[in-house]
Structure 1
Amino acid sequence: MTRFFGSLSVKHPDRFFIGGQWVEPSSSRRFELISPVTEDVVGHVAAADERDVERAVDAARKAFDEGPWRRMSPAERAGHLERLVHVLHQRADELAHAWTGQIGVVYPFSQAGTGLGIEMFGFQARNASLHIWEEERPTMYPGSVGMVVREPVGVVAAIAPWNAPLFAMAIKVAPALLAGCTVVMKPSPESPLEAYILAECCEAVDFPPGVVNLVVADRDVSYFLVRQPGVDKVSFTGSTIAGKQIAGACAERIARCTLELGGKSAAILLEDIDMGEAAAILAPTLTQLTGQVCSNLTRFLVPRSREQDFVDAMVARLEEIRLGDPYDAQTAMGPVAMRRQLERVEGYIRKGLDEGASIATGGRRPASLNRGFFFEPTLFTRVDNRSTIAREEIFGPVACVTTYDGIEDAVRLANQTDFGLAGSVMTHDVDAAYRIAREVRAGTVSQNGLKPDFNIAFGGFRQSGIGREGGLEAIQPYLETKTLVLDARPATRR
């Protein structure tokens, strides 16, 4: 048993969970876990090589092909998920400490987000009966019975990012398991502890061996995982660049994939919204999880005549945000997750200035914090919508203000992007919000703020991804549709 942050302990951080057992890795290589607050090494976990990946895929393949899981009824699988929810709630504090310790998220946000992650399993369990698992259809053959049945796609590689480890993994694993798939979990090397706890909880509720497996791997070994012939589907959350590579690997062997990728989401501010009210909504959105959220609203499209009012209001809000220890109750924003992310943000700051934008506030590391990967909330103004900082995902607490002339111009600017993950219309006119939302090319468009709803569906247009996660739609990517044409109705069914 190894202790990490707060009350968090993991039984076997030096092993992988494969085939229902905690097994020794094939090499002695380890990943360092580095605190973004202190920059200290706080622990290690095992690093998988290709042999470990092969073992995990083989275990998942055997469990799917030969085991009982896919042959259970959906209600039976839902029962396992319900028991898993109970055990996860018992370890909710540990899961929250893992998120804060590894990524630097302020602790109240970690607590709330952990509950949402656990709820993804509960949502799928509660709604198992709402899915149409099989149905009769008219057939072109007289006297025959036509049926459509939906069966699990097979072995799933669930690859989660570092920014929201439990939630991103849960939103893949929960529907995959309910569908009857078996899973190889591959968390990020920077934030693997939630997946370790999830594996321990699956072990505690007696999932059949091989139904849930865990390896931790770097990018090269992860790419080896997605190319394994024993993997039927890849579910990936991460950068668009990595998503393109994964999509290509899946295309080579016609494997299924769901991709939840980057974003550069726009908030369109209409004339009727009070700019102080808009700033009160948008400033916390920009800084939640230190801006490391794919759907974050990072482009603020403002009527030209209202630009200065909005900038003044946002600067006032952003300069009130206190940075520091994520466990301090007064802290509103912690550090970015790692040194390379800090350097990425700093690089975009330089690029923005080089391309002619101005900084209204922020743009540097806080002078009062000489340790940790902290960076001030930053607001760029005079941003050309075609510039680098307006086109590329920065993944930090940085946003751009661009002015527009008329609603058609605002919609054009909002859609002038390679992405299409989220958006917002800031107005009290619900009819205007609806009309404009229908014109914005994005997977989720909300009125007055960022409101992704995983009880409905989440995903993106264009280079923001393929498929949807969350809601009743979440299970569809984990099912295959089969047509049966029988001479009569079967007496028994699954």
Structure 2
Amino acid sequence: MTLLDSAAPLRHANRFYLDGRWETPSSDSGVDVIDATTELPYLRVAAARPADMARAIAAARRAFDEGPWPRLTHEQRAEYLRAMAGGLRARSADFADIWPRESGILHELASYVGEAAARRFEFYANLASTFAFEEPATPTAGGDYGLLVREPVGVVAAIIPWNAPLPLIAAKVAPALLAGCTVVLKPAPEAPGEAYVVAEIAEAIGLPPGVLNVLTAQREASEALVRDPRVDKVTFTGSTTVGRRIAALCGERIARVTLELGGKSAAVVLDDCDLEATARAITEQGRFLSGQVCSSLTRVVVTRRHHDELVAALAANLSAIQVGDPFRPETQMGPLALGRQRDAVERYVAIGLDEGATLVTGGGRPEHLDHGWYVEPTLFAGVGNRSTIAQAEIFGPVLSVVPVADEDEAIAAANDSIYGLNASVFTGDVDRAQRVARRLRSGTVGHNAWRSDYGVAFGGFKQSGIGREGGKEGLLPYLETKFVILDGAPSGSHFA
């Protein structure tokens, strides 16, 4: 089965990548993947049943318990990561074709995703020689020599959403592999193509059997993956609703878990900022991936005396965005990924109107597009901070402008949310930006722009998740800490 009208053939879409081989599914169940621009099927992949998931978990467990992978040196594993990086670069055109079709991102932006993912693998490969996987530590309760060791957590279930598959695969799989873990990678059934390409790369570079296993699954088999006691850790990116369920299941057996969940991120617009530049910055980030970004700045908090001026500037920018085919160079925003996602966005627009917010621009479907899951960039003004559209993660190009009295009220409004993933402060004063940033309950706070940085540490406060991804912080969740206390330094120890 291949991608129809695509330069990215998948050689084994009707199989699963298990234990280093492309295996036949236990049933003929499949998933049709729909092109977001045409609303037509363009790919069908096999759908795993619980029996298939059990095979994947067994392969990963065997590779961890009996295989060579955890017993290689970090430098040896790093060479595989570098080979993966080379494969990702070689398949960049394939990723650039798949991502717009599955998720609606502009092809121009998708063309960089293979290189970005490759750099992520290389970053973790380079940590092999610099990260302190073991270090001396003085015992405090007896013993002459202590060694603090960071070892792989074990078998990892990596569950990926449909909006940005490859970046999130890289953020989870690269540190897990460097740590010495084995992985069962489960992409979203709406967007499995990039994970299959990653599996083909793993096969091509000779990654040892069972180290990376890839299969697509619906809810029943996915829940079997989370529940299985042979899985030591679950790392999930997706909605807070699903994250709560995964956390509950992991809690039943004290499995390790990292959750990167939803957001309703605030742009805190202070009185001394350049309102025109602020409007341009907020508009630019709002059209990225058609607003299907958990860290998008969808809640704009501004003082009442500047509310109308900022709304006018935002409306002018949003109404000028060219919505259309993500493969056309003139397009500035593509479709939403799914029909049900567009339906959800339209429901929120109706709720916003019912609750008394002012619809300034957008709110409907572009008249010039008769197919594809498109929606107009949408702006609401005069939004109450406790209203539905100010509190719910809409996951589309919908901005809500919330008027407040002053800086203190702006900070309080920004923090008045179950989420705490991202925020930005717009001000011409760097010191003021830092002071406000420290008062915001958010995993990332940017200055005068939307900033989401997987290169250092990305994650959220409150119900936006547990743990961090990216950078050295993103390696720690795949490691267990062990303290070895000895009566003397072992022979050959470079700490002796």
TM-score (norm 1): 0.98
Contact 1:5 1:98 in 2 (8 A): no
Contact 1:118 1:167 in 2 (8 A): no
Deviation at 1:382, TM superposition (A): 1.2
Q: Sequence identity of aligned pairs in percent?
A: 49
Deviation at 1:5, TM superposition (A): 5.0
Distance between the aligned counterparts of 2:162 and 2:92, measured in 1?
18
Distance between the aligned counterparts of 2:178 and 2:377, measured in 1?
41
AA aligned opposite 2:90? Q
Deviation at 1:219, TM superposition (A): 2.0
Contact 1:425 1:437 in 2 (8 A): yes
> What residue ranges of structure 1 are gaps of 5+ in the alignment?
none
Residue 262 (structure 2) pairs with residue 262 (structure 1): yes
Contact 2:304 2:405 in 1 (8 A): yes
Residues 270 and 138 (structure 1), Cα distance of their counterparts in 2 relative to 1, 3 Å cut? same
Q: Deviations over 1:260-294 (max 9, x none)?
A: 00000000111111211111111011110000000
1:152 corresponding residue in structure 2: 152
Residues 141 and 240 (structure 1), Cα distance of their counterparts in 2 relative to 1, 3 Å cut? closer
Deviation at 1:151, TM superposition (A): 0.4
AA aligned opposite 2:394? I
Residues 142 and 373 (structure 1), Cα distance of their counterparts in 2 relative to 1, 3 Å cut? closer
Distance between the aligned counterparts of 1:217 and 1:142, measured in 2?
51
Number of aligned positions between the proteins: 494
Residue 231 (structure 2) pairs with residue 237 (structure 1): no
Contact 2:337 2:373 in 1 (8 A): yes
2:407 corresponding residue in structure 1: 407
Deviation at 1:113, TM superposition (A): 3.3
Distance between the aligned counterparts of 1:493 and 1:355, measured in 2?
68
1:483 corresponding residue in structure 2: 483
Deviation at 1:453, TM superposition (A): 1.3
SS in 2 for 1:229: coil
Moved more, 483-492 or 252-261: 483-492
AA aligned opposite 2:342? L
**Matches of residues 203-222 of structure 1 in structure 2 within 5 Å?**
203-222=203-222
**Matches of residues 40-439 of structure 1 in structure 2 within 5 Å?**
40-140=40-140, 144-439=144-439
Distance between the aligned counterparts of 1:493 and 1:8, measured in 2?
49
AA aligned opposite 1:438? R
Q: Deviations over 1:303-359 (max 9, x none)?
A: 111111111111110111001111110000010001000100011011111111111
Q: Deviations over 1:138-163 (max 9, x none)?
A: 12465621111110000000000000
Deviation at 1:404, TM superposition (A): 1.2
Runs of 4+ in structure 1 over 4 Å off: none
Contact 1:389 1:400 in 2 (8 A): yes
Residues 209 and 274 (structure 1), Cα distance of their counterparts in 2 relative to 1, 3 Å cut? same
Distance between the aligned counterparts of 1:143 and 1:38, measured in 2?
68
AA aligned opposite 1:331? T
AA aligned opposite 2:384? D
Moved more, 129-138 or 435-444: 129-138
Deviation at 1:226, TM superposition (A): 0.3
Distance between the aligned counterparts of 1:335 and 1:89, measured in 2?
26
TM-score (norm 2): 0.98
Q: Deviations over 1:50-99 (max 9, x none)?
A: 00000000000000000111111111111110111011100011011110
Deviation at 1:128, TM superposition (A): 2.1
Deviation at 1:126, TM superposition (A): 1.6
Deviation at 1:130, TM superposition (A): 2.2
Moved more, 249-258 or 33-42: 33-42
Moved more, 5-14 or 50-59: 5-14
Distance between the aligned counterparts of 1:265 and 1:132, measured in 2?
34
SS in 1 for 2:367: coil
Deviation at 1:117, TM superposition (A): 2.4
Distance between the aligned counterparts of 2:353 and 2:49, measured in 1?
42
> What residue ranges of structure 2 are gaps of 5+ in the alignment?
none
Cα RMSD of the aligned pairs, angstroms, is 1.2
Moved more, 454-463 or 119-128: 119-128
Contact 1:5 1:97 in 2 (8 A): no
AA aligned opposite 2:11? K
SS in 1 for 2:311: helix
Distance between the aligned counterparts of 1:157 and 1:418, measured in 2?
26
Distance between the aligned counterparts of 1:178 and 1:129, measured in 2?
11
AA aligned opposite 1:358? T
AA aligned opposite 1:24? T
SS in 1 for 2:221: helix
Deviation at 1:102, TM superposition (A): 1.3
2:468 corresponding residue in structure 1: 468
Distance between the aligned counterparts of 2:131 and 2:8, measured in 1?
37
1:12 corresponding residue in structure 2: 12
Distance between the aligned counterparts of 2:43 and 2:452, measured in 1?
33
SS in 1 for 2:385: coil
AA aligned opposite 2:338? M
Contact 2:274 2:428 in 1 (8 A): no
Distance between the aligned counterparts of 1:54 and 1:385, measured in 2?
46
Distance between the aligned counterparts of 1:95 and 1:492, measured in 2?
46
AA aligned opposite 1:314? L
SS in 2 for 1:324: coil
Contact 1:25 1:48 in 2 (8 A): yes
AA aligned opposite 2:160? A
AA aligned opposite 2:109? F
Residues 167 and 407 (structure 1), Cα distance of their counterparts in 2 relative to 1, 3 Å cut? same
Moved more, 450-459 or 59-68: 450-459
